[in-house]
Amino acid sequence: MRNPLNPLRGWHVLIMIIAFFGVTIGVNAAFITLAVRTHPGEDVPRSYAQGLNYNDTLDRRDAQAALGWQARINLVERDLLVAISDAQGAPVGNLALAGTLIHRADTDRDCPLEFTESRPGLYRGSLPCEGSGDWRVEVHTVEGAPFEMVSELWLP
């Protein structure tokens, strides 16, 4: 039986090199496509512009620290409860709160949150997102006194 590569000729080597680089480029293209589709690499839109305005963020945090407000978060069925109290422990009412429920692994599953005051200092928002797992809750005031909170949440 005759070996087709004996004797090894130049066109054999050319075909092997083209096949090798073709497979390598094909696998790399597939991995790059899958990586970009599953996680684009940017969690925060306009992150560069937010970085330029970081001093504004620090000023808001200083103003919040001066207020001395504390917040607690709780999950009751599919409702998210946020209790806000001042430095003396009195409930803080009449706030306009909004927020975001952020999924750790998939930014396409992030959901906006809207809160209504159910009693002074207690704000209730329903969870529009479906699914379980590890989430991060970010809540902030829409207007008025600056207040932001971030909390971890596990949804069953």
CATH code at 122?
A: 2.60.40.1220
- Give the chain's domain count: 1
In a domain, 11, yes or no: no
In a domain, 95, yes or no: yes
Contact (Cβ atoms closer than 8 angstroms) between residue 126 and residue 99: no
Collapse the DSSP code of 14 into the 3-class scheme (helix H, G, I; strand E, B; otherwise coil) and give the result: helix
In a domain, 84, yes or no: yes
The one-letter code for the residue type at 56 is D
Per residue in 140-156, pLDDT (tens digit) is 999 888 899 999 988 87
Per residue in 57-91, pLDDT (tens digit) is 888 889 889 989 999 999 888 889 999 999 898 99
- Domain of 130 in residue numbering reads as 69-155
The pTM of this model reads 0.67
Q: How many helices (H) and strands (E) does the chain have?
A: 3, 8
Contact (Cβ atoms closer than 8 angstroms) between residue 73 and residue 82: yes
Query: Residue 82 has what pLDDT?
Result: 93
What whole-number distance in Å separates Cα of residue 98 and Cα of residue 149?
Answer: 11
